[in-house]
Amino acid sequence: MASDFDRIRKQVRQFVVEREWDQFHSPKNLSMALIVEAAEMVEHFQWLTEEQSGDLSAEKLAEVELELADIQIYLISLAEKLKLDIVAAVEKKLALNAEKYPADQVRGSSRKYTEYKQS
Amino acid sequence: MASDFDRIRKQVRQFVVEREWDQFHSPKNLSMALIVEAAEMVEHFQWLTEEQSGDLSAEKLAEVELELADIQIYLISLAEKLKLDIVAAVEKKLALNAEKYPADQVRGSSRKYTEYKQS
Amino acid sequence: MASDFDRIRKQVRQFVVEREWDQFHSPKNLSMALIVEAAEMVEHFQWLTEEQSGDLSAEKLAEVELELADIQIYLISLAEKLKLDIVAAVEKKLALNAEKYPADQVRGSSRKYTEYKQS
Amino acid sequence: MASDFDRIRKQVRQFVVEREWDQFHSPKNLSMALIVEAAEMVEHFQWLTEEQSGDLSAEKLAEVELELADIQIYLISLAEKLKLDIVAAVEKKLALNAEKYPADQVRGSSRKYTEYKQS
């Protein structure tokens, strides 16, 4: 049975194919489109306090939801072009992160690996 | 049955909880972390031609895979904090995009909605 | 007499010419390099509170100073390629901003033009 | 005599003070505003070829000029808040870059320092 993520992956792919947009979708271009969408997310939060950013109005949240989708859509397109499996990539990275940031050493600290490792 | 995307969502959540990093994860901060990871993706492609960006060495592709994962991980964390469902958001956005960019009107063109709409 | 900004503009130009890097400096590529540097700045601040971001250690400030320089360097390179005058552009934009955001209407508010204009 | 860069620095400062926007201008927030503007620049180039990006229409170039200004304006505001001198920072960074990337070793190559150094 196809998973929900498989389903949206296929929908994203179909959307691009139907519009013949594949010709514009080099990984280079897709990385640019991705960061542009990420910036639209940042824009929503740039003048808010951290607290306000966690307490959005329903209207604002609906806008943010669509930005979230845009980022996911370009991330899927980029993965497709590079023939990478996002789910497998995340599991691989989480395993690496677990080694780099052992829970009992980094608990409650945002210092980066390189920083706490040296101390 | 939990889907593969559910599975990584739970793993991402557990990773953060175990390290007590939730306190740093305001949506504002997560949007910053997300764009920083998106920029690390862009960095891989900045001096490549579009063609080169689609023909990466195995070594480079392995690095890009981990960047892809980082972006997905922060996107999941951001969605969690905002109590948004990424899969539902993507389906909602694709439906909106289908209205905005009818396949038979935009085929083969990268012009934005606003641009072709005016012409 | 050449101004200080003219001086760094010439130094940036000379640096690129001496290394024959001009061939990589399409505006597209430079916009990517620019945002990558901007993200390195964001990275310094992503887990800091707003207050902490205004009270950096001398060591951190020295790193931030170099990121600031990197952004300025790519901005100068981009302006050069596009044959645009940064100082003139800023003066033009400030004049437009003064019209869009009249001091007596927006004082103390971060709401965007579009938002307060509608209200 | 005040230089042209001093002049725009003062204009940017005055603009912010008159609107009492200083309260929103933590370095953290300014780094976000800066990257949002950098992304608006990227957006202009995302679907263009490198060649097209160097051959903009007059209309497009006028838009790009204003984006350029926005980036410079936030960069100035950020430097002001951190009490950093942009011109001095650029000269410091160019001196470091000249050591890292000796012209006779890197000529014509976009490989990063770390990459060619290892080879």
Cα A38 to Cα B82: distance, rounded to the nearest angstrom: 16
Per mean pLDDT, which range of A47-51, B8-12, C99-103 is the poorest?
Answer: C99-103
pLDDT at D113 over 60: no
Query: Would you state the pLDDT for residue C114?
Result: 55
Query: Would you state the pLDDT for residue B119?
Result: 44
Q: Chain C to chain D, count of Cβ pairs less than 8 Å apart? A: 207
Could you tell me which chain B residue has the CA closest to the CA of A96? Answer: B66
pLDDT, tens digit (0-9, with 9 covering 90-100), for B27-47: 999 999 999 999 999 999 999
From B31, B35, B110, residue closest to D47, measured CB to CB: B110
Q: Which residues of A touch C31 (CB under 8 A)?
A: 32
- What does A39-53 look like in DSSP terms, one character per residue? HHHHHHHTTS-HHHH
Query: Would you state the pLDDT for residue C119?
Result: 44
Q: Which residues of D touch A74 (CB under 8 A)?
A: none
Average pLDDT, stretch C107-119? 63
pLDDT, tens digit (0-9, with 9 covering 90-100), for A18-46: 999 999 999 999 999 999 999 999 999 99
pLDDT, tens digit (0-9, with 9 covering 90-100), for D53-102: 999 999 999 999 999 999 999 999 999 999 999 999 999 999 999 999 99
Backbone angles phi, psi at A56, to 5 degrees: -80, 150
Contact A108 B20 (CB under 8 A): yes
User: Are C20 and C29 spatial neighbours (Cβ–Cβ below 8 Å)?
Assistant: no
- Per CATH, the number for B4-83 is 1.10.287.1080
pLDDT, tens digit (0-9, with 9 covering 90-100), for C47-102: 999 999 999 999 999 999 999 999 999 999 999 999 999 999 999 999 999 999 99
Query: Would you state the pLDDT for residue C111?
Result: 72
Q: Which residue has the higher pLDDT, C1 or B26?
A: B26
Query: Would you state the pLDDT for residue D111?
Result: 72
- Best probe of the B interface among C35, C36, C78, by most B CBs < 10 A, is C36
Arithmetic mean of pLDDT over chain D: 92
- Enumerate neighbours of C (3 or more CB pairs within 8 A): A, B, D
Identify the band that residue A119 occupies on the pLDDT scale cut at 50, 70 and 90: very low
User: Are B94 and A15 spatial neighbours (Cβ–Cβ below 8 Å)?
Assistant: yes
Cα C19 to Cα D102: distance, rounded to the nearest angstrom: 8
Could you tell me which chain A residue has the CA closest to the CA of C110? Answer: A47
Residue A67 identity (one-letter amino acid): E
Cα C36 to Cα B41: distance, rounded to the nearest angstrom: 9
Query: Would you state the pLDDT for residue B107?
Result: 87
Residue written as tokens 């590529």? C29
pLDDT at A117 over 70: no
Arithmetic mean of pLDDT over chain C: 92
Cα B98 to Cα B104: distance, rounded to the nearest angstrom: 11
- pTM (whole model) above 0.90: yes
Q: Which residues of D touch A38 (CB under 8 A)?
A: 39
pLDDT at D119 over 80: no
Contact D61 C82 (CB under 8 A): yes
How far off is chain A from C6, nearest CA to CA, in Å? 31
Q: Which residue has the higher pLDDT, D4 or D116?
A: D4
Contact B38 C39 (CB under 8 A): yes
User: Are B3 and A4 spatial neighbours (Cβ–Cβ below 8 Å)?
Assistant: yes
Q: Alpha carbon of C97 to those of A43, C115, D69, D70, D73: distances in Å?
A: 18, 15, 11, 10, 11
Average pLDDT, stretch A2-8? 89
Q: What is the 3-state secondary structure (H, E, C) of D55-93?
A: CCCHHHHHHHHHHHHHHHHHHHHHHHHCCCCHHHHHHHH
Query: Would you state the pLDDT for residue A1?
Result: 55
How far off is chain A from D77, nearest CA to CA, in Å? 15
How far off is chain B from C93, nearest CA to CA, in Å? 23
Identify the band that residue D107 occupies on the pLDDT scale cut at 50, 70 and 90: confident
Contact D34 C18 (CB under 8 A): no
Least Cα distance to A34 among A81, A71, A80, A82 occurs for A71
Least Cα distance to B16 among B6, B30, B3 occurs for B30
Could you tell me which chain B residue has the CA closest to the CA of D43? Answer: B112
Q: Which residues of D touch A29 (CB under 8 A)?
A: 46-47
pLDDT, tens digit (0-9, with 9 covering 90-100), for B62-116: 999 999 999 999 999 999 999 999 999 999 999 999 999 999 888 888 776 556 5
Identify the band that residue C2 occupies on the pLDDT scale cut at 50, 70 and 90: low
Q: How many CB atoms lie within 10 A of CB D79?
A: 24
